[in-house]
Structure formats: C-alpha cells, structure tokens
Structure 1
C-alpha cells in the first residue's frame, strides 16, 4: 500500500475524532462568539499536531481568521478552508450511522479543513520534503460572501504557485472542480402606501403586489442554455390583514457562467423599475464572486492531481460546479486553482449533510501527496 494511504488508514479514527471535535463546535456565519470558539478548537488541533498555533488575524467588524504556515521554500502554496457554516446552533444533529458522519458543516467544509491539517501532519511525521512554503488560511465568512477575507485571500494568492481549496468534491463522482459559476446577491426593497383594506383600499399601494410582479419578472431571467439562474430565495413584508401593505422586500441569488452574463444581470438590476403605479423600488447588493475559469496552468495542475490519484488507484475527474467558493477569487487572478479537495459526501446546505467515512483516508492521502508533488 502507498505509504501515505497507509498512514491515513492507520490514523483513520484519529482524523474522524478531529473532525467531530471541530463539527461539535457549531459556527454559524453570523455568530462571532461561536465562531471564535470554533477557531480556538482549530488552534488546539494545530498546537497538538505541530507544536505551534496559527497567527490570529483580528477583524474589527467581522470574525477573526487564522493563518498557519508549514514548511519552507521560496515558492508558496496556498490552502483555503473556511469554518463558518449555514446552520444555526442546534439546527442539525451530529451522528454517525450507515458509514456516514452527519453534522452542521461536516461536508461544507470542516471535514476538508481537518483533512488539510492531517495532510501537513503526514508530511511532518513521515519526513516528506515539501519544497514549497505552505500557507493554510482558515476563514470565517465564506458562506456570506467573504466580505472581510476576500482581500486577505487575494493578498496571499499573489505570488502563490497554486491554490488548493478543501471544499467537497462533486457528489457521486468525487470529481475536482476546475470551473465554477460566478455569483451575485441582490435585495429589492419596495415601498408602497398603507391604507385601510376595506374603507380606502383604492388609496393604497400594495408593496406585496409589487414584490409579486418583481418575483415573476426576475425568475423569468433564468436561462439554462446560458447557464444563468435567478432565484428569489426570501420574501418579507406585510402585517395586519386589514391594511394594504406599504413595505415588502425580496432577496435574489444569481449564478452565471460568464462575465458577460454577470454584467448583463447587474445592468438589469440597476435599472429595475416598479410595475405598480405609486410603488418605489430600491435595489442593493451586487456581484459576490466572479466566474471561475481554468487556464493552462490549472490544466497542468489537474494533470498532476490525476497522476497522484493513480498512485492511490483512484480515477480522478474534473467538473464544473454551479456553486461558488473562495477559489473563484484566486482563479480570477490567474492563479492555478484546484477546488473540491475536501471530504467526500452529499448534502451541501441540506439537512442530510454528511461525509463518507470509508473515503476519508483516500481523500486525505490525495491532498497530502499533492502538497509535496506540485
């Protein structure tokens, strides 16, 4: 058996325990206190396995991030992980059954974060020479668009030989992600005019009615042939049933494959007009992540990953994904970026979120071998 695979197989249970240790520390994106506790648990693992902790990057308005270095070399290799999740505290149970571990963020992407730690630890324990300085970023705001970490990520990506992202691989195929759609989020606030629904209905301007018109229009912009999806994911507004609603709002998520489509949708949102006489519209938000395209250097990086996978008797594929990640930022800079190097499983942002226990040694070995092969 390959020595890396043998090492990961030997420590299979230890890796699982570390994953549970991090997953048990729930960390919703908007809860700074819980995120800080989870960050401390990551620090505990780093100190336990390497004897030193990550540098704490403190944020005044947002949650802190972690920057860890391992190895030496003139060239830099960047690993990106995040430890915030989409789940509120107590929303998902943590359990192990049927060869799977379930829990909030276990797939997206605390499992991959722990695999990154064990990949570096294996290099240390086995005396494997890593000819590049590894910078391991653990960020705390990826699920809300990386408002404070984007600049940090782009700064670290400058001059990096490549970027490895520990988001999960494509469910089912285990494929890495070499391309991703870009994303944008918009919020449409509608102001109407309140009136008594019985006595003076004709004097009112119903904001909910206007929002309904906007939903139908915006959803119609979805074009599967172009790879563009427009999804109204939230609706708020109204109050007492005997009052014409004077305020309502919607949240819109947009995914697109090209910069041209991103610009087109941006222009439409900027020029959005009300359908209802007397209604007023205010749009805020915008582009969150550019589309992730592969370049020639990314192709070479994936070829190396395929070679490494063959050493583990794995058949590795590449695919395009609809969801975005922090890899979108680095790929847009022209830095070769491989995404999907985290734990395998299913249920991203779903209540059955889980990873596959049997795949942990193999997926961790793949990342480890890449660290000293590229």
Structure 2
C-alpha cells in the first residue's frame, strides 16, 4: 500500500491540470483493471478526465466516489516530496485523497476473491477541488442508477465518517461608481470601494442569521490608483448553511443589496452551488452498517457533521443514501502539514471491503425508496 501511495503522490495532479490527473487515473485504473474492472474513460465538457470502473450486472450498483485532483500547484512535490516517518506519510495530496484511493484498491483486493462480480461502480473525477464543474453530469447520471454511494473523502478526527455536510453558495458582488480626480473633482466621484466596504460589513453581520450559517468575504479587488476615485470594485463571497431554507435566506440577504450612495450601482451574480447533505433514514442505516463493520473488526467508528462540501452533496441531493469520510485517517487537509497515519490504512481498507461486501450481497437493500429529495 505504501508503494502505491508513493507512486500516486509522486504524480502531481493539481485540479485544472488534466495531464497529471489523467496519469493518476492511469495508475489506479490499471490496478482496477487487474481486478476485473471494465474501464470507461470520458472527457467532460471542460476537459477534465473522468474514469469509471464497473463490475457485475450494473442493475442497482453501489457507487464509490473518489477524486484524483489536489489543491496543490505544480512544484509543490519538489518542496514537499513523499516521505514516511514514524507512521506518518506526507506529501501533496496524500490525505486528500490519494491514500483513500490506495485503500480502495486494497479493499477490492479483499472483496473480489469472495465475489468476483459485485454490483459495483467506481467513479474517479479530476475536478472535485474546483466543485466538480465538468464531472457533475457524470456524478448525477451514475448516482441516479445506484443503490447508495460511498465517498472516499478523508475521515474526520479519529477517522470518523461524515453523514451531514453544509451547503454552499458562491457570489460575486460588483459595485460600479464614478471615477474622478480626488484633488480637483472629489465630490463628483462615487467611490465603488467605499460603497463595497459598507455592503460587505452588512453581509458579514449576516453570519449567524440561522444556526451554523456563515457569510465569508473571500477576496476584494478594486480601484486603479490612489489618485483616482475608484469606479469599480468586486468581492467574492461565500455562504454556508445546514438547511436548504437557511441557504435561501442567505441567498436573499446577498441579493438584497441596495446602494447607500445614489450614484452607485450594485450587481450580484452567482447563487447556491451545493445544497446540504442530510442524514436521512436510509443514510442513517448505511452509517449504521459502516459502524457495525468497524465494530466487527474491533474498533469504533465515530460519526459527525462537517461544514465542508464534497461530491457527497451532489449525490445525496438526488435522494441517494450516502456516507462520506470512508477514506484516509490523518489530518492537515489542504495544508503543508497534511499527513496520513499509515498504520490505519490496512484497517480502513478492511473496513471498506466489509461494508462493500454487505452492500453487494444478493437481494440486499437499504431502503425500497431511498431518502426523500
């Protein structure tokens, strides 16, 4: 497992770099093909590669979701090469989620001798860290024909599974003012930065309008120089929320911007990007099965709700019972200190294999109707 992890981490695969992402898919795909998978390669409209691996009759398969892209740009590997020391594996993307991909391969090595043709689909996309803009149609198509979904995002503290996630909204807030010379014609100008600052103060105060709702001001750009009254300014804003209703209220708050200065114009673009992932009845049973499989191997799997967003939000929104966080145990996701606890990898691979074995048993069903959309 460490050798395969080294191979994957040593291929730089930033989101938006199809060549590197395709190379990681090649390595994992070869492993899956050697285990009897029927491979399909697709290219999304935005150029991102999508790899599908199928086994069985594909009637109501279990869907396993993973991604090969990372948040780290080219050159990060030279600064932070793959290492293993004192039970900690480090390197760009090792935790999110290349160790999860290794655990998947090992889990299938354990599962397939007992059941060479489980009703199973694996989808590996390459733009998850960008919000899956190109691969989303593939996620949706596979989810709609699947019985449930297992997502290989890293586990929470202690390796806990994730059964609820916040939804997220993306917005650009643009202000148009009137340029003027601040020394000769200051009163004629309408400062877009001043107007935007007032608007952002009001938006920041919307955090907490519902329990768990946050409004984050991510970037601000504006003006052309200190000797010009700024005619343009724009901010990137993000909202996160636990319920669809809270998302709608946050959306309305962002859109309800009225200029303080009568000469300013405000334009809001964007909207809700992902709805929340809910812990519905069938998802609750799926999580229970995951905990049972862990207990049978002698350990207790925790469970938690998190504020981050993943492809689990996409498939869960379709009513597909979903459990996330079945990937690696470690920490430091998206940061320079990310790590994986190598001693946990065989155990988590056994865990995934046991859960897949339960879910692909002939006649097994989580719920005849699934979760309500």
TM-score, normalised to structure 1's length?
0.89
Kindly indicate whether the alpha-carbon contact (under 8 Å) linking 1:289 and 1:328 is maintained by their aligned counterparts in 2: yes
The equivalent residue for 2:104 is 116
User: How many Å separate the matches in 2 of 1:101 and 1:253?
Assistant: 32
Kindly indicate whether the alpha-carbon contact (under 8 Å) linking 1:193 and 1:205 is maintained by their aligned counterparts in 2: yes
Q: 1:359-370, aligned counterparts within 5 Å?
A: 359-370=344-355
Instruction: State the Cα distance separating 1:225 from its structure 2 match.
Output: 5.8
Instruction: State the Cα distance separating 1:358 from its structure 2 match.
Output: 1.3
The equivalent residue for 2:89 is 101
Kindly indicate whether the alpha-carbon contact (under 8 Å) linking 1:44 and 1:53 is maintained by their aligned counterparts in 2: no
Match of 2:260, SS?
A: coil
Instruction: State the Cα distance separating 1:131 from its structure 2 match.
Output: 6.7
1:270 to 2:258 alignment: no
The equivalent residue for 2:313 is 328
Unaligned ranges ≥5, structure 1: 1-14
User: How many Å separate the matches in 2 of 1:366 and 1:264?
Assistant: 40
Instruction: State the Cα distance separating 1:220 from its structure 2 match.
Output: 0.8
Q: 1:170-319, aligned counterparts within 5 Å?
A: 170-171=156-157, 173-223=158-208, 226-319=211-304
Instruction: State the Cα distance separating 1:319 from its structure 2 match.
Output: 0.9
User: How many Å separate the matches in 2 of 1:266 and 1:328?
Assistant: 18
User: How many Å separate the matches in 1 of 2:181 and 2:86?
Assistant: 57
User: How many Å separate the matches in 2 of 1:274 and 1:348?
Assistant: 39
Deviations 1:330-366 (A, max 9, x none): 2222211110000011112222122111111111111
Kindly indicate whether the alpha-carbon contact (under 8 Å) linking 1:70 and 1:120 is maintained by their aligned counterparts in 2: no
User: How many Å separate the matches in 1 of 2:191 and 2:13?
Assistant: 39
Instruction: State the Cα distance separating 1:253 from its structure 2 match.
Output: 1.4
1:350–1:275 distance in 2 versus 1, CA, 3 Å: farther
- Measured on the aligned residues, the alpha-carbon RMSD in Å equals 2.0
User: How many Å separate the matches in 2 of 1:356 and 1:200?
Assistant: 63
Kindly indicate whether the alpha-carbon contact (under 8 Å) linking 2:64 and 2:150 is maintained by their aligned counterparts in 1: yes
The equivalent residue for 2:3 is 17
The equivalent residue for 1:76 is 61
Runs of 4+ with >4 A deviation: none
User: How many Å separate the matches in 2 of 1:209 and 1:38?
Assistant: 47
Unaligned ranges ≥5, structure 2: 360-373
User: How many Å separate the matches in 2 of 1:327 and 1:305?
Assistant: 16
1:34 to 2:9 alignment: no
